[in-house]
Amino acid sequence: MKICYIVAMVAEAKPFIERYGMKEKPGFFSPLPCRMYEAKVGESELYVVLNGQQNGSDLVGCEAASVATLSAIERLHPDLVINSGTCGAFRADGADIADVYIGNSAMFHDRRVPGDDAWGTQSLGNYAVWHRSPEVAEALGFKMGKVTTGSSLDMQPCDLEIIKANGGQLKDMEGAAVGFVCSLFSTPILYVKSVTDLCDSGTETFDEFSRNLGKACEALKNANERIIEWLIER
């Protein structure tokens, strides 16, 4: 099995890359900023593709995630894409810091496009996940939630309205973009998201995010280790 992780931030990928002793293939995606790491785990080929950096900071967000996913699928032909990263979630849904969720679908929460149903439907996205995602969640004891994606770290009232109206539970900046590209190739996608901040905590999101990033990334690595084990046993 060829498994390809798409990850936005170095901090999110580093513990995992180290765990599997993954080696970078420098310049693999040149001239694109994406970076590729690889390792063999049993009979499986494991890849981590990072969106890359610009001016010294990680390229978070949909554009960079789309470029990374498109390039990764075209070059590596994975059997499964895993979008692993951090997210915001809601205390009201029972979420806590460093909880790990498996996505049950992915949508955009900041595309407000008036028009007929077709425009509205396309704007939201609502991309399907790998059909075995519920099995992964059940076998390993993770909660499931709907991933909602936008281009900002903060949450405006109109974002919240769209998230709530569509049953969203997790808030990130890449998930639906990765799902969109996967849908074009019919490549299955599994979402693994760890909570850095609670959108309804009343605390400033960036402070909460920064404070909890290390803890959430450690939880993310532990979750991914168990997921890889589960996948290669199949």
Catalytic residue IDs? 12, 197
Min. distance of Cβ 18 from ligand SAH in angstroms? 19
Cβ-contact 35, 29 below 8 angstroms: yes
Min. distance of Cβ 197 from ligand SAH in angstroms? 5
Min. distance of Cβ 113 from ligand SAH in angstroms? 20
Min. distance of Cβ 100 from ligand SAH in angstroms? 13
Task: State which of positions 2-61 bind ligand SAH (CB under 6 A).
Answer: 8-9, 57-58, 60
Q: ∠ at Cα 26 (21, 31), nearest 5°?
A: 145
Per-residue contact flags (x/-) with ligand SAH for residues 152 to 181, judged by CB under 6 A: -x-----------------xxxx-------
Separation between Cα atoms, residue 65 and residue 67, nearest integer Å? 5
Q: For helices 205-233 and 133-140, what crossing angle results, to 10°?
A: 100
Bridge partners, residue 37, by sequence: 24, 48
Cβ count near 233 (within 10 Å): 8
Tell me which stretch binds ligand SAH (CB under 6 A): 13-21, 34-42, 72-80, 196-204: 196-204
Cβ-contact 89, 99 below 8 angstroms: yes
**Under DSSP, is residue 43 helix (H, G, I), strand (E, B) or coil?**
coil
**Single-letter residue type at 197:** D
Cβ count near 99 (within 10 Å): 21
Tell me which stretch binds ligand SAH (CB under 6 A): 73-81, 83-91, 97-105, 160-168: 83-91
CB nearer to ligand SAH: pick between 48 and 173: 173
197 binds ligand SAH (CB under 6 A): yes
205 binds ligand SAH (CB under 6 A): yes
Cβ-contact 34, 72 below 8 angstroms: yes
CB nearer to ligand SAH: pick between 1 and 11: 11
Cβ-contact 193, 70 below 8 angstroms: no
Min. distance of Cβ 126 from ligand SAH in angstroms? 18
Binding site for ligand SAH (CB under 6 A): 8-9, 57-58, 60, 85-88, 153, 171-174, 196-197, 199, 205, 209
